[in-house]
Amino acid sequence: MTSRRTDRTVTRGFTLVEMLVAMAVTLLMMAAVARAFAFVGARIRESRGNVQLSNELRDVTTRLNDEMTRCTVNLTPNVGGPDQAGYLIYHEGPVTDATSSLFRTVINTDGTVDVPESRYGDFDDYLAFTAIAPEGSWFSGKVPRYLLDQKAAELAGTTYSIPADDPLTTNIDESQVPFEPVMIRSRYAEIIYFASPEYRNVEGDDAEYLRYIDVDGDTDLGSGSASENGLPDRMRIHRRVLLIRPDLNLNNGRLPVQNRTVTTTSGATITVPFMRADIWPNATATVRSTATSADGWAYGLAGVHQQCDLSIHRVLNTIGSPTNGVAANSLSDLSAPHNRFAHVRIPNSVLTGGGGSSPTSMPVLALSGPATVLNMLNIDPSAPRIAPPLSSSGSAPVVTPSRLCGFIRREFVLGDDNTHLEPGSFWGADRRGEDVLVNNALSFDLKIYDPNVSLFQTNTGLVVSPNDAGYRETLLDAITNSESPVFTGAFVDLCYPVLAGGSLRGWQARYLDRVNTTAGSTIATTGSYLLTPFSGLSGFSNASQSYSNPLYRSGRLVTTGANTIALFQPAFDTYTSFYETDGLLQGRVSNSLEGTRWSTTTGATADLGADGLDGAGIYGGGIASSTGQYGADDVGERETLPPFTTAPEAIKVSIRLENPTTRQIRQASVTIRD
């Protein structure tokens, strides 16, 4: 028998378990690769965001540092002698770096304390100065063409007739577009830096017109709800460059006024004035839309600032009252505050709540109301607000100003003027964004170097300054334990002891932060820790006696007959001696009213500090007296003084930006020195 052998190849397949294992491994590998790509992508986005923030900060700080090195004045205030040509001013708002931590502290559900808005810094400061351009790179800006044509006609001795403004005409030449903006240059300029929030696009008489966008709660702010914020959702830093060109004034010392007839979106025909301010103090219907006419003193010059890039001022009449005439500034004009950008004089009726327009305030910034975060309550419903009382609620020497202490009014931002008739190209709408330096700002903070400010060490070894949220508690402990400062000298906010959003908020008893329900202790007034060169304090008393005499005499702190604070805008300003020889009385108008005011009084009672006699001056009596009679026309006899008479060693400008996509935050600083 023959045996047969059959070779059989057995092919073995994957079992179901093996396939499932392979698929699981594949999915894990794919997930790992995806996570790796996501990680790499996130790092790339973060790197790009970091580079973008670095580039933006470098651009802003380099530009600012370059311009500050070419400032036309040094940091020494003008007190006697010829004024420096130009100016530098640093205004300090009530918000500080500590505000977002103190006023936005919340308690999480697990009992821990959180500061979710601590990324916000000090954002309501203001910087302006005059500068000279480098050779071959002069400042440039826009003006209506007719300004040049009409001045040229005057120089040629001919009469100027403005042509029909008809840009639709065929074969049009330049002479037929007199209101077209053209570029001009100047070697000198007035330069302004400030932060501004985003506003709603509403009419000028709308209740929301001057309220910044805050979608996480501004309708019921103050209720204590943790969901409320009170901080701007978006902020930009603006830089305005205004050319100093007094040669454009006509022989009468003013810029020429021309009217442009335009058709509105509704089909109506209106007349738009160029180079003419609104009537002061109440605007008229011919140059405003639905805005409050009584606020014309605040926004009256903003329309002209939308029409040109010139440094301008209102022309004054023979008794010193503002008219609606406008003139281009010279460099020397700008040493006087009333000639500067966004500076206004507040009518007496606004300051005191009654009476006529005179005496007015001294020139101050046209600001809106304070940041709404300052109205935060303590979380305990039975406890009051943690900021000082409102300026209108009593005679407390330290207050939260209820007006004129926030952002620059929106009418002074290019393209954001909804006050004047039919907002359009003639009111700057086509220029929106031209003055924006950078977006997504969290802080625009200025600080001044105070050589005597005290820094203390906590029990945990941390050294804290007035810029830190815990400074009040640390100072109280140091006074109780008779501890000495570990250091003296630091960059601090101007008037740091009395800022409504600061770490101290006055020497009276205050809540340490929003979650604290204990009123706290009064800071002992026996020591001199808070009486430093730039604290703004000279003692611890009432509203008419606690602050330094120069601060009252500058007009940036004004009290009422009831000893309440009516106006408080602390600033370092190189200032001027112009008001000592202008033939008008600027000074205390009553021994019961502290703070310099601008009156229409002329004659023997005016300019006592320049009459050649040794007298007591107008500040020889009253609550915060400063007697003269130390020689003819000494400092004690002056009507006005710079708000701070000490020259600072340095001023620091800090800018903080956020990348809203990656949530990265970066900050850079520039130090200004003589």
CA 570 – CA 554 distance, rounded (Å):
10
CA torsion 272→278→283→289, rounded to 10°? Answer: 30
Per-residue pLDDT, averaged over 153-162, amounts to 94
What are the Cα distances from residue 120, in Å, to 124, 228, 628, 666?
Answer: 11, 15, 46, 12
The fraction of the chain above a pLDDT of 70, given in percent, is 88
Cβ(374)–Cβ(103) below 8 Å: yes
At 3 the pLDDT is 55
What is the average pLDDT score of the chain? 87
Split at pLDDT 50, 70, 90, the class of 224 is very low
Which residues have C-beta within 8 Å of that of residue 579, sequence separation ≥ 6? 336, 586, 639, 640
How many Cα neighbours within 13 Å face the side chain of 244?
Answer: 25
Q: Which amino acid is at 166?
A: D
Strand partners, 446: 653
What are the Cα distances from residue 259, in Å, to 177, 262, 411, 426, 596?
Answer: 13, 10, 21, 11, 38
Q: Is the model's pLDDT at 523 over the cut of 50?
A: yes
Predicted confidence (pLDDT) per residue in 14-65, tens digit: 788 878 888 889 998 988 888 888 887 777 777 777 888 999 999 999 999 9
How many C-beta atoms lie closer than 10 Å to residue 251's C-beta?
Answer: 8
CA 303 – CA 286 distance, rounded (Å):
12
Q: Is the model's pLDDT at 219 over the cut of 50?
A: no
Q: What is the pTM of this model?
A: 0.91
Q: Is the model's pLDDT at 351 over the cut of 60?
A: yes
Cβ(497)–Cβ(535) below 8 Å: yes
Q: Is the model's pLDDT at 226 over the cut of 50?
A: no
**Hey, is 466 helix, strand or coil?**
coil
Per-residue pLDDT, averaged over 374-389, amounts to 83
Which residues have C-beta within 8 Å of that of residue 507, sequence separation ≥ 6? 398, 497, 522, 523, 525, 530, 540
Q: Which residue bears the tokens 């926030």?
A: 406
At 9 the pLDDT is 60
* C-alpha closest to that of 575 among 59, 67, 86: 86
CA 220 – CA 223 distance, rounded (Å):
6
At 263 the pLDDT is 74
Q: Which amino acid is at 417?
A: D
Strand partners, 655: 444, 668
At 377 the pLDDT is 83
Distance of CA 627 to the CA centre of its chain: 34
Distance of CA 351 to the CA centre of its chain: 21
**21 or 9: which carries more pLDDT confidence?**
21
Domain ranges of the chain: 69-575+641-672
Q: Which amino acid is at 245?
A: R
Predicted confidence (pLDDT) per residue in 96-137, tens digit: 999 999 998 888 888 888 888 999 999 999 999 999 999 999
At 217 the pLDDT is 47
Predicted confidence (pLDDT) per residue in 332-345, tens digit: 999 999 999 999 99
At 631 the pLDDT is 65
Q: Which residue bears the tokens 């500034």?
A: 329
At 291 the pLDDT is 65
- The DSSP symbol for 470 reads T
Predicted confidence (pLDDT) per residue in 641-657, tens digit: 999 999 999 999 999 99
At 222 the pLDDT is 45
